[in-house]
Structure 1
Amino acid sequence: MTEVLDSFQSALKFTLKWEGGVGHPQDLGGVVQYGITQATFDTYRRRQGLPLKSVVEITPEEVEQVYLELYWKPSKADLMVLPLAMVHFDTAVNFSVRGSVEFLQEAIGGLVIDGRFGPKTQAALEDNNNFETAQRYCQARINYRYQRVQINPSQEIFLEGWLKRDRDLLRSISQGQEESQTQTPSVNEAISGDRNQVEIVDKLEQAINLLQEVLDQLKQSKVNPSTPEKR
């Protein structure tokens, strides 16, 4: 559970890097604070049995809980390795949970793209829960940005910002992958390390046995000293 929450915090840190302040007036999402729309915040407050308030007044604790309960968990990001979880979570924030599942299905391939995380999608994820899927996922986002602007030219004002975010996401997971490979020994290295340890232990045991034999001989010579020769 701790590892899952650590992954969530890592993913949230990246998303909040790009979700600061109130949204742009031309943003189709309307009033937005830290990537959270008023409608989403209203949903969270209702579920908590709390009175509604402006999303501009959202607290840091509420920001974290909204992302955890309405994006991280529903998107099933907790089932994914960190590179993919980070991409999937950030996409859920950008495109809704359903939209993130559609991107995931496209990145995996061979699935009906319906935005529903059913048994087939889950089974396919188990076989493709890796860095390579996360890379394809990022590229799918970049492709979609251009398509969106073609369909709605008024959104071109956001294109460069979208692309910077997508490229930063790809760069972040790539750096994380490189660090992981550097820190984690390969199977051959692990086996070689085990063999070296075994050899060291064997040599130590041989040295100890040899010392024990010498000690035994010394003790024996004291108990039964040799008789001097007669002249």
Structure 2
Amino acid sequence: MFAQNKIESLQLSLKSLELYEDKIDGIIGPNTIAAIKKLEALVHEQPSIEKPISGDSAEKPDVINTLTDGQGADIEDALIFTLKNEGGYSEHPDDKGGATNKGITIGTLSTYLGRKDVSKDEVKNLSYETIKMIYKRYYWDALNLDAVQDQSIATALFDIGIVCGTGTAIGFCQEILGLPQTRKMDTATLNKINSTTDEELIPPFAERTISYFDAIVAKKLSQAVFLKGWKNRANRLLSLIDKDDFEAVVPVSVDGIIGEGLQQLAKQAGVPQADIDKMIDWQTQNKPLSNPRYWVVFKIHEHSKNKRMHIFDRVANTVQSIHAVHGTGSDPNNDGLATEFSNIPESHQSSLGLYKTLGTYTMAKHGRALRLDGLEDTNNNALKRGIVFHGVPYAGDEYVKQHGRCGRSFGCPAVEYALVQDLIDKIKGGSLLLIS
């Protein structure tokens, strides 16, 4: 569509604005697109609307003992959403904050820089990186959002934390989830957030925020002039919803005996009969009315250059064998062999055992992913750790041909991007995945 030299010129311009850090190659890849989105957010001229008066900052967050091994939310995505809600440079005589740009006042910039002589020009010429670091320090980190798995939920909490105060935003969330309102992102709150979906949480969160705005205006009628803008911002949270389900309905279930035909398919793939027996036994004892079409075995002890994940299709009577990655902690030498396994959070190790697939959600780094529920003592922290089935750029024939092995994840059984979405749709909602 565009000549390579034109794209190179664009990349050079984005680099001069400190929005792009990759190589100048004339290719519109993910990093170029991300830089364009940053630029769009910076130049988006939303009318500046005064925020509700709130000194309600979150208490200092706990040291969370259940940080996700899987990738958590990303401030970059959240900030692009939020900056489109914030006005450009303004210096309104009635604005108590004084000179303001993208929601950052001259006082906030002064505090961040540790200087009292900050000029209005410095506010006017804020760089994207400075804007990001200020929002990260005073909002993102206060909300512990690196440990939230669902990007949409993290973005919603971040945005309303900026508008209403971080403590207020967490309090809304805790109220909706039926938790004590500690107004800080403690372990119980984080675990509850990571056990729900954006579709379940964001609508009541937006409604609760709107009722908060209504209450402010009821107490102080002079604030009514801002009410429409505040409500528009809260309602915009609904655009973040991906309509994913934590517990998806099994998409493909078939008639017949549970697991019928799997043994023969397993022989074709060189998968031991004991692995298949284990899966069928669990299904028979725990979900006897469900008979999934697709079953998955990941032979993680094999070298990662091998196609060691096998997807069995009982209807088509076929086996799809593909590359899959293991955790960095399971392969400390990065030689392609997984030798260490753990169920402990922050170990970045893969966990052996049987998993049941659940529903999908959106990761910041890897897009749509599939939640996994660990069914054994060796993997029952999977949900807490954020161990999910997702796509990566470091698996597949081309990567293995170049590197002699797959790359490594933070413990997730991940596969190449080109295959992952089709597989998610096949196995979501109750299929079994065995890592052995």
**Normalising TM by the smaller chain, what interval?**
0.5 to 0.7
How far residue 110 of structure 1 moved from its aligned partner, in angstroms, is 3.3
Deviations 1:141-177 (A, max 9, x none): 111111111111111111111111111211x123xx1
Q: Distance in 1 between matches of 2:132 and 2:206?
A: 24
Deviation at 1:68, TM superposition (A): 2.2
The 1:131–1:78 alpha-carbon spacing in structure 2 relative to 1, beyond 3 Å, is farther
| Structure 1 unmatched runs, 5+ | 203-231
Equivalent positions of 1:118-157 (< 5 A) are 118-128=186-196, 130-157=198-225
Gaps of 5+ in 2: 1-68, 254-291, 295-311, 321-436
Identity of aligned residues (%): 26
Shift of 1:90: 0.2
Per the alignment, residue 199 of structure 1 pairs with 317
The secondary structure found in structure 1 opposite 2:84 is helix
| Alignment of structure 1 residues 8-87 onto 2, 5 Å | 8-23=75-90, 25-27=93-95, 29-46=97-114, 52-54=118-120, 55-80=123-148, 81-87=150-156
Q: Which amino acid aligns with 1:109?
A: G
Corresponding residue SS for 1:169: helix
Which structure dedicates a bigger proportion of its chain to strand?
2
Q: Cα 1:31–1:154, aligned 2, differ >3 Å: closer, same or farther?
A: farther
2:88 touches 2:102 (CA, 8 Å); kept in 1?
Answer: yes
- Matches of 2:316 and 2:117, distance apart in 1: 65
More helix by share: 1
1:165 aligns with 233
Cα separation, 2, equivalents of 1:99 and 1:8: 20
Superposition deviation, residue 87 in structure 1: 0.7
Aligned residue for 1:217? none
Show CA shifts across 1:42-87 (max 9, x none): 22212xx897444333222211221223211221122221121111
Q: How many residue pairs align between the two structures?
A: 191
| 2:164 match | 95
RMSD, aligned α-carbons: 3.2
Counterparts in 2 of 1:142 and 1:70: CA distance versus 1, 3 Å: same
Alpha-carbon distance in 1 for matches of 2:158, 2:80: 11
- In structure 2, the CA distance between the partners of 1:201 and 1:99, relative to structure 1 (3 Å rule), is closer
1:115 alignment counterpart: 183
User: Which string of whole-angstrom CA distances, capped at 9 and with x for unpartnered residues, describes residues 187-227 of structure 1?
Assistant: 5449535425871349xxxxxxxxxxxxxxxxxxxxxxxxx
- Partners in 2 of 1:51 and 1:197 — Cα distance? 72
Q: 1:25 to 1:162 in 2, by over 3 A?
A: farther
8 Å CA contact 1:138–1:166 kept in 2: the answer is yes
Q: Secondary structure of 2:165's match? A: helix
Q: Is the 1:101–1:115 Cα contact (8 Å) retained in structure 2?
A: yes
1:108 touches 1:128 (CA, 8 Å); kept in 2?
no
> Which letter does structure 2 place at the counterpart of 1:164?
N
Worse-superposed segment, 190-199 or 152-161? 190-199
Is this contact kept in 1: 2:145–2:154, CA < 8 A? yes
Amino acid at match of 1:147: A
| TM-score normalised per structure 1 | 0.68
Provide the C-alpha distance between the structure 2 equivalents of 1:30 and 1:50, rounded to a whole number of angstroms: 14
Q: Is the 8 A contact 2:97 2:107 kept in 1?
A: no
